[in-house]
Amino acid sequence: MLQRTLSGVVLMLACCLAARAAGAFELIEIAPGVFAHQGQTALMSRDNNGDIANLGAVVGRDAVAVVDTGGSLVEGREFLAALQQKTSKPIRFVINTHVHPDHIFGNGAFTETGAVFVGHKNLSRALATRGPFYLASFREALGPLLDDVKIVAPSLAIEGTTRLDLGGREIVLRAWRTAHSDADLTVLDEGTKTLFAGDLLFLRHVPIVDGSLLGFLAVVGELEKIEAVRVVPGHGPVVAPWPQALEAQKTYLERLTRDLRAQIAAGAGLEAASKTAGRSERPNWELFDDYNIRNATAGFAELEWDSP
């Protein structure tokens, strides 16, 4: 009996190891017809296939919309394969929430699906400006994973708010002012009140300010008003209650702003200010040391010219 149980355990382990070796890509249904994949809380590397951002999909009666494609072509292909296990409906839209590589390097996996690529009205310009730089600067981290990555620009540009029809199901796309980046787009599935926030929401992973600190704070204030019940953040736990999920990020951005204003008022220089601003938030976030000084440096330059 014991032997049979043990061999059963061994068999189970063998099956799970085999699944992992084949590159099991987890895609879970977080609401009816709404799928999400949780990326690791880490920097992009060849070990994690660039799989550090959350991805999603909404399945309508006739068609599917994909939200972000991952940090490499390998990850994008894994995502597409996992999605095709869940639905055989055609992918009509591939939506990019913004320009950062962990969200767009997988785009090439979807070009042959015939989907329309969708982004903020600023996304094409941002990709043209930064794409070549990203392809060069991520070479060291991603190695050969980068070989087949192509920058794919959107053919449908969103300004303000746009509704996309998936057949009996509409999603609402909203283009925001400069905040996390200068091309942030959110996706709301109205039927289930599920919001895909892209990197306008970070959980666990320290927020990144690559657009405007004050803009980010202002957008958080606007986001709070969206009628949703759950959110898929750009990073961190793949589904969280809304709008409570905004609180930690708001506290961080407010702390950073207050500290920088105090330092500027006291006549501190950029270097001293960027080393101390926001430090009290360190225990609350992962990857804090990778990004806080950069956030503080960007915030300092912005606030220096913004006398309260």
Whether the Cβ atoms of residue 113 and residue 80 lie closer than 8 Å to each other? yes
Select 37 or 100, whichever has its Cβ closest to Zn ion.
Answer: 100
Select 99 or 164, whichever has its Cβ closest to Zn ion.
Answer: 99
Taking the C-alpha atoms of residue 244 and residue 242, their distance in angstroms, rounded to an integer, is 5
3-state DSSP assignment of residue 184: coil
In degrees, rounded to 5, the angle at the alpha carbon of residue 73 between the alpha carbons of residues 64 and 199 is 65
Q: Tokens 């869940």 — which residue? A: 86
Taking the C-alpha atoms of residue 186 and residue 134, their distance in angstroms, rounded to an integer, is 23
Select 77 or 180, whichever has its Cβ closest to Zn ion.
Answer: 180
In degrees, rounded to 5, the angle at the alpha carbon of residue 184 between the alpha carbons of residues 181 and 188 is 155
Select 63 or 200, whichever has its Cβ closest to Zn ion.
Answer: 200
Q: Kindly give the residue spans of alpha helices, DSSP state H, lying in the chain.
A: 2-21, 73-86, 101-104, 123-137, 139-142, 213-223, 247-265, 270-276, 288-304
Structure tokens, 17: 């190891």
Select 138 or 263, whichever has its Cβ closest to Zn ion.
Answer: 138
3-state DSSP assignment of residue 85: helix
Least gap, CB of 142 to Zn ion (angstroms): 16
Structure tokens, 183: 């091309």
Select 100 or 230, whichever has its Cβ closest to Zn ion.
Answer: 100
Contacts of 172 (CB under 8 A, 6+ apart): 161, 162, 163, 187, 188, 190
Least gap, CB of 241 to Zn ion (angstroms): 22
Taking the C-alpha atoms of residue 179 and residue 159, their distance in angstroms, rounded to an integer, is 15
Q: Which residues of this chain interact with Zn ion, rule CB under 5 A?
A: 100, 199
Select 63 or 219, whichever has its Cβ closest to Zn ion.
Answer: 219
Least gap, CB of 176 to Zn ion (angstroms): 13
Least gap, CB of 208 to Zn ion (angstroms): 6
Least gap, CB of 118 to Zn ion (angstroms): 17
Least gap, CB of 3 to Zn ion (angstroms): 52
Select 153 or 268, whichever has its Cβ closest to Zn ion.
Answer: 153
Least gap, CB of 180 to Zn ion (angstroms): 6
Least gap, CB of 218 to Zn ion (angstroms): 18
DSSP assignments along 231-283, one per residue: EEEEESSS-EETTGGGHHHHHHHHHHHHHHHHHHHTT--HHHHHHHTTGGGGG
